[in-house]
Chain A
Amino acid sequence: SAVISQKPSRDICQRGTSLTIQCQVDSQVTMMFWYRQQPGQSLTLIATANQGSEATYESGFVIDKFPISRPNLTFSTLTVSNMSPEDSSIYLCSAGTENYGYTFGSGTRLTVV
């Protein structure tokens, strides 16, 4: 299965600023996804990162707030823009194939102050 390197692992940011999270996969994968996990909660899908086209966002998430790039089949970034304390969460990327399970990055723990 694929191995994902996600960074940064954690960050403390000022409100109003932006943070870009990177995920690098050690092999080409068709599907990559970005999730948010609020404190003590389960995972909520933010968007599907599509290679060569705009990401597909889930209800409640918009491109202006969470711009995503996927320039090739091994790399993707998620930016959390104009942050507020409500954005404090763990952000995770995942990749893989739907019939064999997914690999997750180690997560980015974001605290907005």
Chain B
Amino acid sequence: SQQGEEDPQALSIQEGENATMNCSYKTSINNLQWYRQNSGRGLVHLILIRSNEREKHSGRLRVTLDTSKKSSSLLITASRAADTASYFCATLKGDSWGKLQFGAGTQVVVTP
């Protein structure tokens, strides 16, 4: 079964607005990663946050991690039409030999 659950499943916003999506997981992790997928193509790695980190920034992306609640959030600020994509969280457990467990994903549509 998949480790992560994401909400919302779908998100529709206007350009310039912020987009927030959440990811919950079930077991302890080594790190949590966020990926973007455009139109069913390959995934692009966005950001990785380690279990001992609480917040991380990369450009317009902000990721938080709350290990006590086993949850993470991804915030995209000042969204653009080019941000339209599916976003997946993926967790890595310490004993998983590098294997990621993916969440169900959030489909984000940004309209001009």
Q: A residues touching B (Cβ–Cβ < 8 Å)?
A: 1, 4, 6, 31, 33, 37, 41-45, 48, 56, 90, 92, 94, 96-107, 109
Which of B12-20, B64-72, B76-84, B96-104 interfaces with chain A? Answer: B96-104
Interface of B is mostly: strand
A42 x B30 contact (CB < 8 A): no
Closest 8 CB pairs of A and B: A101-B45, A106-B42, A98-B98, A104-B43, A104-B42, A43-B102, A31-B98, A42-B102
Question: Residues of B contacting A105 with CB < 8 Å?
Answer: 42
Cβ–Cβ contact B45 & A102, under 8 A? yes
Q: A42-B2, A42-B88, A99-B31 are in contact. Are A48 and B41 (CB under 8 A)?
A: no
A-B interface pairs (CB < 8 A), number:
62
Which B residues fall within an 8 A CB radius of A?
2, 30-31, 33, 35, 40-45, 48, 50, 88, 92, 97-105
Instruction: Tell me, in angstroms, the Cα distance from A107 to B41 when the chains sit together.
Output: 6
Select from chain B the residue with minimum beta-carbon distance to A37. B40
Residue in B31, B40, B103 whose beta carbon sits within 8 Å of that of A90 in the complex: B40
Candidate in A37, A42, A109 with the most chain B CB atoms within 10 angstroms: A42
Q: Please report the C-alpha to C-alpha distance between residue A96 and residue B2 in the assembled complex, in whole angstroms.
A: 21
The distance from the CB of B51 to the nearest CB of chain A, in whole angstroms, is 11
Chain B residue with Cβ nearest A1 = B45
Let me know if A43 and B40 touch, CB within 8 A.
no
Q: Are B41 and A98 in contact (CB under 8 A)?
A: no
